[in-house]
Structures are given as structure tokens and as C-alpha cells.
Structure 1
Amino acid sequence: MQIQIRQTTNAETPAICDLIEAAFGDEQGLEVAQLTRDLLADPSAQPLLSLVATAQRTEIGDPPLGHILFTHAKIHTGSAPSDPIPSAAILAPLAVRSDVQSQGIGGRLIADGLARLTAAGVDLVFVLGHPGYYSRHGFVPAGNLGLDAPYPIPPEHADAWMVQALRQGLLGRVQGQVACAEALDDPRHWRE
């Protein structure tokens, strides 16, 4: 299947939320879809990057195959104000339609998003997700590098809080706590 990845439009929000509800299922799907709506409308999430994957020959109104959202984040380093603080983003959520999962669509969305963020000058991207999946896409555990999540992650899930540097020389040198957009700043969103 030939896939195209492009930025979303506001008109696509209902279709994206339908995709997310179906991909996550039941109550979690409703919660993640509402979080996505909230993040897309949240000024503190700006700048954000919202991408959809569609089939190459998609008709207008056809549902997307996948969606990924990156929102603005800050790192509170405790350093002197004159020290440069890396720019950061948080990946949340990533959803792929269940009938096309395991075909590389999620990986393509991640790669395209990271390339666009690199071009925009973002330095670090964080995610709270499945370590086995995200490690295949270049993410490494962030906590043992001194980069703490907005809320504590239980020790048994510590490896789920991950980071990827989009510029060399940052990991191990920058430490601090990540602050997320207001819509994501709720402990219930930080369970894994």
C-alpha cells in the first residue's frame, strides 16, 4: 500500500478522533480522543505538529489510516538563565487503524514527524509508550539520563518514559524535568 503523510487540517479532527477511539478501544479510546481534541486547541501545546497517514489515492473525506501528534514541551534544568535550554516536544498520541496495523504506518509517521521536527530546530522528543516499539524508532529510556517526566513514572514502567535526541551531544549533558502542555498536565495521562 502506498502511503502519503501530510499535516492535518482542522476539518479532519472528527475523523482523527474516530480513528483514535477505534485504535485504543472502549474507555481508553474515548479518553485519548478527548485528550487529542484538547491538545489541538491548547495554546500551550504550540507549536505542535499533527500528521495523518492516508492511502496514496485517498478521496476527500476518506478516513485516515494513522495519526501522530507532537506538542511543545519545556525542560526545567535548574541551570543559569544564560545557559541554552534545548527545545523539546512530546509525542502523544500515535494511532493506526486496526485493519492496517503492522504494516509500518506508525513507523512512517514517527520518522516523518521526527524529520519535520529536526528541520524546525527541535532538539529532544519525549514519549511515554511501549519500550519495545519506540526503541525500534531510536528512543531510549529518559529517566536514567536525568530527564524526568512531568509526573513520576512507577519504577516497573520507568523504561516507558523515553527520549530521542534530534541533535548530537545533548543526551547525558542536559538534565531536568519536562513540562508539558496544560491539556497533558494531569497525572492520569502519565500512567503506563
Structure 2
Amino acid sequence: MLAVERLAFGGEVEAGLVAELIADPTAQPHLSLLAHVKSRAVGHILFTAVRLEGAAPGLMLAILAPLAVVPDAQRKGIGCSLIEHGIRLLGEAGVALVFVLGHPGYYPRHGFEPAGRHGLRAPYPVSPESAWMVRPISPSVLGRVQGRVICADALDRPEYWIE
């Protein structure tokens, strides 16, 4: 999976972040999925636990970070499949909302919408604001909770919050 991150992003930053998140107890539980084509790893997605400032302790939330597809396998639906499969598994596990800081032209086709319009703030200020998104798995939760998302310690660095 770390090789996929290195190839997809062209360096060590995201691979290092993934390794840190998987080892970080504040990121638990996490969901890590690896996509293969003909036994070659071509995509990886990681969801880690987050919490909402002031929310009830039982509310299960996650963040998608990062999503990686190796360059020669991009634009073939692999990222879409990883997102949808991950969201389905998170829903089965009781996760209510999934957050992402990502491209506003990509993630809305997977049900993500600007989180700010629901009073859900990123751990750090982001620009553009439309890049901070939420996907409701339990739609009834939207509008009932608001506040700032608190992420895992490994992700709680300002340099990771630039889109």
C-alpha cells in the first residue's frame, strides 16, 4: 500500500502519513482498502476515525485521507470503486458521516457536499472552503450536530490541510 502511495503522489509525504495514521491509536478504528488489477496493487484508500467537538461520544465519524491510484491506472474507476466500497463498509460498521478535504470537482459525484453549510468545520481553515466536504451515511445526523472536526494526532498538522 505504501508503494501505491509513493507512485500516486510521487514521493514519501503521503506514504509516511499513511504509515503514521495506521500506527496512531487516535486514528482507530481505521479502514484501509487496497485495489488490485491482475494481482498488481493499483489503488489505496484510508479512512480513519475522527470526532466532533462537543458531540455525543457514541457518534461514529471518519475521514477519507488519502485516496491514491497509481498514474497508469487512473481514470478507470478504481478511485470510485474504493470510495464506494469503503463508504458501504463504514455504513455497515455504524459510521454516520465521512469527511474529506479534496477536489470539489471530484468528490461531489460520490455524495460529498460542502461541510461548512452544515456547520461542520475542518480542524484548520481550508481554502477553498468548498474543498472541505462531508458525505452523510446516516442523513438524519446532518443538521443535528455541528462543530469542529478533531482528527487523529498524525493528521493534526496545518500542512496537511491545504488543498
TM-score range relative to shorter protein: over 0.9
Q: TM-score, normalised by structure 2?
A: 0.95
Deviations 1:157-176 (A, max 9, x none): 10000001101212222101
Alignment of 1:129-168 (within 5 A): 129-154=102-127, 157-168=128-139
**2:12 aligned partner:** 30
Equivalent residue letter for 1:23: A
Residue among 51, 73, 84 paired with 1:74: 51
The offset of 1:86, in angstroms, is: 2.6
Alignment of 1:85-104 (within 5 A): 86-104=59-77
The offset of 1:146, in angstroms, is: 0.3
Question: How many pairs does the alignment contain?
Answer: 163
Maintained 8 Å contact 1:75/1:85: no
Consecutive unaligned residues in structure 1, runs of 5 or more: 1-15
The offset of 1:84, in angstroms, is: 6.6
In 2, the alpha carbon distance for the partners of 1:32 and 1:110 equals 18
Query: Over alpha carbons, which structure has the higher Rg?
Result: 1
Maintained 8 Å contact 1:53/1:64: yes
RMSD: 1.4
Please state if 1:116 is matched with 2:92: no
Maintained 8 Å contact 1:52/1:66: yes
**1:20 aligned partner:** 5
In 1, the alpha carbon distance for the partners of 2:95 and 2:106 equals 22
Q: TM-score, normalised by structure 1?
A: 0.81
Residue 132 of structure 1 aligns to a residue whose secondary structure is coil
Deviations 1:8-33 (A, max 9, x none): xxxxxxxx1221111112xxx31111
**1:189 aligned partner:** 160
Consecutive unaligned residues in structure 2, runs of 5 or more: none
Give the 4+ runs in structure 1 shifted more than 2 A. Answer: 83-86
The offset of 1:127, in angstroms, is: 0.3
Deviations 1:130-163 (A, max 9, x none): 0110001000000121000011113xx1000000
Question: Greater shift after overlay, 44-53 or 162-171?
Answer: 162-171
Equivalent residue letter for 2:147: G
**1:50 aligned partner:** 32
